[in-house]
Structure 1
């Protein structure tokens, strides 16, 4: 098998600490190009290149659309752009968000796998929820190497833990072990561990609406991994879908409680102006008061 000279690394929460620690121990003569996607706000000042350049011997910079790929460099996804790898060059995409993120780890992993196949080493570090898991599955399906930070030491264990649960990760390594492993893989013509057999994805219809655009979504099962996709191009992992749907319900309960309080205030005003003889109004107030108490319990405001 070819050397792994295309290294793609994904991180989210905790990445500002994990990534410099990893880059500090990569050799200056690394015969591979390194690509990094970390979840950042679209309004981020983009300080990651400076942090990584100071941390180790390799020069780090935000990727530029269309620039050629060179070994010994670190290319970082800029805020609000997906980093996409093509043969010999980098593209920056302002395409649909995936897992509610742009830049998204899955996009980078998936494009690297499609363009470079066996030459890819995919690394998933600390982070919340499940971005990077489906992308790492794509790396595995194209016979690349999959590496996950040991969830026991990750600042936020959800992303690496979901990868370990969802696919047959080849290497589960501590952060201080990953640089030596990547160095060895970048010069070796043999992988140290054999990836699992390819698995065909299974597409199913669902009753789910896209949390980004509201469109209908299909479910794609990739072994033990499940991803939801809409026709616009948004993709959302199962864990991210659950969290986002929960947040939506909580927001709607808060809105309903606020509207309920305002409605009761108006009903009491009307009662004062119409006098005590309005039995229909009293019944409406009693009904809406009961509804408000239910909403308070659902929102947790009854404990305040």
Structure 2
């Protein structure tokens, strides 16, 4: 065992409503912070790289979009690029376009898990405002590996899902307003920690190695379920605690998988509604055409089919209203 002067790796996750608390946090950190910060914010794959520029103007620490293989330096902020996971491997930043986690890329869990494996008790995890529960599994891993975790006070967060989930997944996470998280980080970066030989977790190591493309796709650890992956429709395996993964490597919490399944059902309903509308319009044309030709018996048959289609259409529309609104561009 060795004593390290402080925790020197900070990983931060934010999603909906998380930009302002993130800027507040960065604005209160000292310019000589003896820790590297890596940030994941859920953004659109086509969202561009403006985020690092916005954060660079938020405080004294230089902030930039992470580059693959870039050595991590204390007092710098590295931001995940759109459509790329950000990982830590051998004290360098790594980028991956590997399988989505919790339906996201970048996602918080891969960053937090890789940091826990790479830095162990030297890791600090922070979860800010966001929906659902990305970052909860990673926060639990950081704590399990001896690191420290803080969450933005759910009562202060614009969206409390992510902070609340991380709090529920851990036993000692600190609950703080965003304005006080910076001081908490500074305190931990200056407090000596005892480091030890990295503990082994073969399943976590396999998951991170898959994202880093260091090994072939294998069968996940856990029990085969009757579920299918919302991303690729492959078989899903369940591992503790309520962690789901397919053979491709898409990984889900129970909550994020339920959310994605709901989105898939809604898309399927909209497709069915569109097809039934087209069918009803086509049958209406066939009714008029049959009448114009004096084929009244045929026209009545088409009318019955059209009316049945319209009834089915109204049923699906009512069901869709119970599930959600209009579809959005993917």
**What is the TM-score normalised by the length of structure 2?**
0.82
Distance in 1, matches of 2:302 and 2:53, equals 65
Matched, 1:103 2:122: no
Equivalent position SS for 2:111: helix
CA positional deviation for 1:171: 0.7
Distance in 2, matches of 1:29 and 1:277, equals 87
Match of 1:194 in 2: none
In structure 1, stretches of 5+ residues that fail to align are: 192-197
Match of 2:247 in 1: 231
> Counterparts in 2 of 1:71-220, with a 5 A limit?
71-189=74-192, 203-220=222-239
1:4 pairs, out of 7, 15, 35, with 7
Match of 1:26 in 2: 29
Q: CA RMSD in A?
A: 2.2
Distance in 2, matches of 1:6 and 1:271, equals 71
Matched, 1:243 2:263: no
CA positional deviation for 1:188: 0.5
Is the 8 Å Cα contact of residues 36 and 73 (structure 2) preserved in structure 1?
yes
Is the 8 Å Cα contact of residues 133 and 165 (structure 2) preserved in structure 1?
yes
Equivalent position SS for 2:71: coil
User: How has the CA–CA distance of structure 1 residues 296 and 41 changed in structure 2, closer, same or farther, with 3 Å as cutoff?
Assistant: closer
CA positional deviation for 1:7: 0.7
**What is the TM-score normalised by the length of structure 1?**
0.89
Distance in 2, matches of 1:78 and 1:271, equals 56
Distance in 2, matches of 1:282 and 1:59, equals 69
Distance in 2, matches of 1:120 and 1:300, equals 45
Distance in 2, matches of 1:229 and 1:250, equals 23
Match of 1:195 in 2: none
User: How has the CA–CA distance of structure 1 residues 283 and 52 changed in structure 2, closer, same or farther, with 3 Å as cutoff?
Assistant: closer
User: How has the CA–CA distance of structure 1 residues 271 and 54 changed in structure 2, closer, same or farther, with 3 Å as cutoff?
Assistant: closer
Is the 8 Å Cα contact of residues 121 and 193 (structure 2) preserved in structure 1?
no
Distance in 1, matches of 2:8 and 2:42, equals 24
Is the 8 Å Cα contact of residues 148 and 169 (structure 1) preserved in structure 2?
no
Deviations, residues 204-231 of structure 1 (Å, cap 9, x unaligned)? 3222211211111112222xxx222111
Is the 8 Å Cα contact of residues 45 and 83 (structure 2) preserved in structure 1?
yes
CA positional deviation for 1:299: 2.4
Is the 8 Å Cα contact of residues 85 and 115 (structure 1) preserved in structure 2?
yes
CA positional deviation for 1:10: 0.7
User: How has the CA–CA distance of structure 1 residues 273 and 54 changed in structure 2, closer, same or farther, with 3 Å as cutoff?
Assistant: closer
Match of 1:277 in 2: 297
Is the 8 Å Cα contact of residues 139 and 169 (structure 2) preserved in structure 1?
no
Equivalent position SS for 1:244: helix
Match of 2:197 in 1: none
Distance in 2, matches of 1:258 and 1:55, equals 47
Match of 2:317 in 1: 296
Distance in 2, matches of 1:232 and 1:143, equals 30
